[in-house]
Structures are given as structure tokens and as C-alpha cells.
Amino acid sequence: MQSSVEKGEVRSGLTISGAYADKLRRVLFAQFIQKIKSGEISKEDVARASRELNTFLYHLLVEKLKLEKDDVVRITVKYELQDREIKWDYENLKIDAYRKIPQSEVSKIIAETVKHVKEVIEGKHVIEEVGKTITGDTLYKIRLGGVDIGVLEVIGLDDEVIVKGALTSPDTVIIEKARIGIGGKEVSEVLLEKINELAEKGRKVSRQEAEETIKFFLSKVKTTIA
């Protein structure tokens, strides 16, 4: 008669990459302490399973993912216990990894961003014409604080324009179709005046969807403007 199978999982919680092995080992032994005391499984059995898991994780995290000791990971792995043997469910292994950014790089980015702090806080956008689409519509790139935050496709009519596009800041939105009167002004000037209004009227989406939409619009450019 086949013995019953007991299922469980171990979680490392957030820990630096250099400490995950010890953390998982302690979690595993804590889960099996009562079974070790009752003789259902031995310390050696648990230690063997721990070594197997950590050998695989070292190969994955260090040799494959190239994580450094100070990077942060969160590991969740399920297991089955049967006949005193812990079998790891590697196929459903879950790892969240967070790379540590060197302080020199962080400082550089902070210094660069501080230069544009007034633009960002006051919402001073910059609009740059990118090029024309195959159908003759004009594409504009939107920048804020020196960073690209979206694109607008403009279809010119008599005394108004139809605007489509996507933005990633301050909210991630897609502008599906908006009519704006230009009143004899330059289109770029009107877009600057109406950018916040366009953003408010946009449909809120995920950042991924907004970024994919931006790429789609940029792919439509036929000729670029130097």
C-alpha cells in the first residue's frame, strides 16, 4: 500500500541573495521539527533535501541570473513529503529578484533628475515633432523633466485637430480620440496648453499597455525630422 503524500512549501521572505541558503534551511527545519522529534523523518533527511534545493538555487541565482550577494530575493518553493523523502516541485518554483543599484549610479540619477525638478513639479512639458505617418498625420513626442512620457498623433482638419496617443505620467493613459480647436495657433502650442486636459480625458490603463501603445505609434513614423 502506497503511503500518503503530504504537501507544503517553504518561503524565504525578502532576504539578500547571500543569505537565502541559511534562511531556507532554518525555515525547512522549523517546519519539520515535530516530525523529527516523532521520528517520522530524520535530521539527515531534512538536511539532504535542504542541500539539494540550495545547490539548485545557487546554480540558478548565481550562475544563471548572475545575482550579487547584496541583491534581494524572495523564494517560494513547494514540496511533497512521502516515505521520509522531501521532493521539491521545481517546475513551480517562484523567485522574485531585486538587483541592488550601485550608489554611484543612484547619485548620478538623483543629480540629473534634480536639474529638472521645477519642470516635473510644475508640469512643464516639452513637445517635439517626431515625424509623419504614412497617412500624413503628425507624431509628437512628449517630454517631462528630460524624460519621454508619451506620444500624440495629430490629424489636422480645418480649424481643429484630432488627437490620439498615450502617456505614462502622471497617470498611464491612452487617448483614443479627442478634438481640439487650434484657433490659428501652432499645433504644438495648443498641445502644450491642452496636455493636462488630454491626460484627464484619457482611459487609464496599465503601464505595460501604455508603453506598448507608445511603441505602436512610433512604429507608424514614415520619415523622421532631424
What is the domain partition of the chain in residue ranges?
Answer: 6-98, 122-224
In the predicted structure, residue 183 carries a pLDDT above the cut 90: no
Which comes out higher in pLDDT, residue 62 or 12?
12
In the predicted structure, residue 201 carries a pLDDT above the cut 90: no
Q: Are 53 and 88 in contact (CB under 8 A)?
A: yes
pLDDT at 15: 94
In the predicted structure, residue 226 carries a pLDDT above the cut 60: no
Q: What's the grid cell of residue 184?
A: 490659428
Confidence label for 220 from pLDDT (cuts 50, 70 and 90) = confident
Global confidence as pTM: 0.54
Encode pLDDT of 42-92 as tens digits: 999 999 999 999 989 998 998 888 898 889 999 999 999 988 899 999 999
What order of strands is seen across the sheet that includes strand 203-204? Answer: 203-204, 173-181, 160-167, 147-156, 138-144, 125-133, 221-224
Q: How far apart are the first and last CA of the chain?
A: 78
CATH classification for the domain delimited by 6-98, as one of 3.60.20.10, 3.10.20.70, 3.10.20.30, 3.30.470.50: 3.30.470.50
Which comes out higher in pLDDT, residue 117 or 187?
187
Mean pLDDT of the chain: 87
To the nearest 10 degrees (0 to 180), the angle between helices 43-58 and 20-38 is: 160
